[in-house]
Amino acid sequence: MGVDKAAPPAVEGNAPSKKALKKSMKEAEKAAKKAEHAAKRAEQEPESVTNEEDVSKERYGLLKMIQSEDAHLERKYVDIKELNSNRVDQLLWLRGRLHTSRAKGKQCFIVIRQQSYTVQGLIAVNERISKQMIKFISNITKESIIDVEARVVNVPTKIESCSQKDCEVHIEQIFVVSAAEPQLPLQIEDAARPEGDESGPTIKVNQDTRLDNRVLDLRTPANQAIFRVEAGVCKLFRDILDSKGFVEIHTPKMISAASEGGANVFTVSYFKGSAYLAQSPQLYKQMAIAADFDRVYTVGAVFRAEDSNTHRHLTEFVGLDLEMAFKHHYHEVVEVIGQMFTDLFRGLRDNYADEIAAVNQQYKVEPFKFLDPPLKLEFPEAVKLLAEAGVTIGDEDDLSTPDEKLLGKLVKAKYDTDFYMLDKYPLAVRPFYTMPDPNNPKYSNSYDMFMRGEEIISGAQRIHDAQYLTERAKHHGIDIEKIKAYIDSFRYGCPPHAGGGIGMERVVMLYLGLDNIRKVSMFPRDPKRLTP
């Protein structure tokens, strides 16, 4: 037997330190468990399996770590989603994860998963497949990445547990590319179980466990689909606005003053001074309009230092922002934004039906409803609807979150739409750069838009006159020197303009009907979470 070459414990005089003793005991305990485990496996392994000649020894095993030694390997891989009855009798290679395995006598069933797609695999002892190979496959740990050479075979009855239902693969060779550890912090089957599923033993994976082990959690079919829908939202946003003559710009995320004039900002050291993480690209979008870009949008990170531990708030999220010059009335911009949303919802419905269906396999929600053209209400109309339902809102008050949710239900009941626009907000609840309503000084040329009763965009006509902007900033108690560059950008002539900022994660959450924004943020940041 070999000698344990573990480093000797640190000593103080002639006695080991407490720390060293603890470490030594742990190592001894670990070694004993390893030996015990090996002994048990040896006892369970039939002598006939270990002693008989292995006719399959070249057909399975652990691959050495891939370090890009071979520039090209004559091996054509096929995606699992491409497997169907048209490929029957084809011998091909697959790379995926071992989702599940079940050995029974001289055969073994496995499920191979690649992203959201799964296929059943079967291997049985024959003149080319040994018992040793079956045993090796049955001991591969779940979630390991495997290479499989297999032949596609039709099945007499559909395999309901896999995405590829009309075929399976009969395995010829199998190699482990990257082995997963035996003990997983969560099981993919548990994390993927439909909400409210009471069949069999119910193991619910809570949100913190999911987020602490996000790499595993993201492997579920629903999560794979959610983030493809999210990519679709950003793609559609860009494509729709590009078609309307908008230009994508990129704005600073480190700024010298708070974007919205408030205190909810993250301060970062900046050489010998301080800077802030941008709450919004607002000021820079406007400066781009003043620089004659006419129509602009940006997709990027936004930071809010708000201690809001709710289902819809994050401290870092993706902002979909746009700004547009108009000729005579800011409703020209409102109509463009409203149509953009209508086109976006239609694009998701038509182009991402499979992904939406995959999400609905785990989270049951009602399909999202919208009108074309979208519904637009004025703030006093909303106040009246709420009053009829027994809720009183003051002339200069903003809507609370419960008010917004109730209003969403009232609008859905009356107009049968999950999306609507609310125009003419009270001036007192809007930022300093918002243009007041010329016909009623209590109100403003501003608007919010809602999905399923929750706000997803806040926007307004901006003040484009430097003198008037200075007056409004002073009225809000903002240090003029800190926003001097912003105000100065309007001193050289600027067209009237309006725009808004959209929370991308909220759009995805509400379109899919999910109950928490952390489900649609790949690695969410909130007041209590900064990892992973």
Known catalytic residue: 75?
no
Q: Residue 148 in contact with residue 99, Cβ under 8 Å?
A: no
The total number of residues shown for the chain amounts to: 532
Residue of 306, 316, 378, 381 marked catalytic = 306
Residue of 313, 331, 349, 525 marked catalytic = 313
Known catalytic residue: 306?
yes
Known catalytic residue: 311?
no
Residue of 143, 260, 455, 505 marked catalytic = 455
Alpha helices in 213-330 (DSSP H): 214-217, 221-243, 282-290
Known catalytic residue: 472?
no
Q: Residue 120 in contact with residue 153, Cβ under 8 Å?
A: no
Q: Is the dihedral of CA 205, 208, 209, 214 positive or negative?
A: positive
Calpha distance 23→432 (Å, rounded): 62
Known catalytic residue: 312?
yes
Residue of 113, 193, 210, 312 marked catalytic = 312
Residue of 138, 144, 163, 458 marked catalytic = 458
Residue of 113, 462, 464, 506 marked catalytic = 506
Known catalytic residue: 506?
yes
Residue of 210, 304, 430, 462 marked catalytic = 304
Q: Which helix (H) or strand (E) holds 176?
A: strand 167-178
Calpha distance 217→522 (Å, rounded): 10
Phi/psi-derived region of residue 444, left when phi > 0, alpha when psi is between -120 and 50, beta in every other case: beta
- Enter the tokens of residue 125: 């002892």
DSSP codes of every residue in 243-270: HTT-EE----SEESS-TTSSS---EEEE
In single-letter form, the type of residue at position 255 comes to I
**If 0-12 CB within 10 Å is exposed, 13-18 middle and 19+ buried, where does residue 245 land?**
exposed
Known catalytic residue: 313?
yes
**If 0-12 CB within 10 Å is exposed, 13-18 middle and 19+ buried, where does residue 54 land?**
middle
Calpha distance 146→98 (Å, rounded): 7
Catalytic center residues: 304, 306, 312-313, 455, 458, 506
